[in-house]
Homo-oligomer: A and B are copies of this chain.
């Protein structure tokens, strides 16, 4: 699929069919994350593929009770290792948020190519998700998404509103 079509038609999908994801399709989506760039190529990420029904239910609860998450056959939990870089001089342990977000963006866009819906979940209880999935101490959750075929035929149709280009850009100075 053409790159610009992918980014123009990616949507947050909040209703899923229970249909399973073929293995080769899931692999291509994960591969997109795998080849993403990161600071000093450290790849400080890990992606947990949650398929177990009970775990999915508990994850949905840990995501402010967003129960649509468990409708999807798969939930992907993106984690980052708390590595310190020199980034900006102010990010500290949070620098891995940048890397994991790059890789997760690759994954989200690849899912769109495959006709799969996603919904980038930011509202979750880090400590609770860590408990549910046995995530170690030096690792934190960065993002979560359900992954599955959208229930609605028009799931990729309506774009959300955005600020104008003139509002978010400037030349040479802020």
Contacts and interface: CB of A to CB of B under 8 A. Distances in A.
Interface in A120-156: 120, 122-127, 133-136, 139-143
Count this chain's copies in the assembly. Answer: 2
Q: How large is the interface on A (under 10, 10 to 19, 20 to 34, 35 or more residues)?
A: 35 or more
Contact of A27 (B6, B120, B165): B165
A interface, by DSSP: helix, strand, loop or mixed? mixed
A57 to B, nearest CB: 13
A43 interface: yes
Interface stretch (A14-22, A65-73, A79-87): A79-87
5 contacts: A48-B172, A51-B172, A79-B174, A94-B97, A101-B101
Given A2-B3, A88-B122, 11 more contacts: A3-B6, A3-B109, A7-B32, A7-B35, A34-B168, A43-B163, A48-B172, A49-B170, A89-B124, A133-B172, A135-B174
